[in-house]
Amino acid sequence: MTQSTPRAGRTIACPTCDALTPLSSGEDAKAACCAACGGQLFTGRPMALTAARFDAHTGQSDVPLVIDFWADWCGPCKTMAPVFEALAAEFEPHIRFAKVDTDAERELATYFRISSIPTLSFIHDHREVARVAGAMFAGDLRRWLYDALSQTEDKETAAPEPEPETP
Ligand SMILES: [Zn+2]
């Protein structure tokens, strides 16, 4: 049996209310609920990230974060949106998926020096470990996520085994 549960002492920020919930050793993060609002800590869907929520999810939550910087007028962003959403369900609880609306969150877009969209930024331990610009298909995006995850050096949050291609 593969040990895929988080180590003791991991703290996860809630995608709904941003409260921090400590997880005990062996606790299934995917089934765990927020200590404050009772919502699921992992919903299988990307969360909307704002400047106000930024610190809880990048500075205090012990889960790598991938951010999709997008805008409503951006065609490639809309093409990639369902891909990003499907991979959120696949990679949680190893990675938290978030979306930043660059029109509404200019402060964050400036902070990240976003010059084109879509841009994906992968953050772990307060630092950006990977970044890529341009829309990607599911296969490329999945490979990029595994790559970024392998750079987090946190063996306890090792990526799930890739699903074999169905014949
Ligand atoms: Zn909550």
Segments of the chain with pLDDT less than 50:
1-7, 157
Give ion ligand 1 contacts, CB < 5 A: 14, 16-17, 19, 34, 36-37, 39
pLDDT of 116 reads 96
Q: Residue 26 C-alpha to ligand 1 middle, in angstroms?
A: 21
List of long-range contacts for 58-61, beta carbons under 8 Å, 24+ apart: 58/123, 58/126, 59/126, 60/11, 60/13, 60/20, 61/11, 61/12, 61/13, 61/20, 61/96
CATH of 44-152, picked from 3.40.50.970, 1.10.3720.10, 3.40.30.10, 3.60.60.10, is 3.40.30.10
pLDDT of 6 reads 44
pLDDT of 29 reads 92
- End-to-end CA, the chain: 25
Q: Residue 60 C-alpha to ligand 1 middle, in angstroms?
A: 14
* Known active-site residue 17: no
Q: Is the pTM of this model over 0.95?
A: no
pLDDT of 109 reads 97
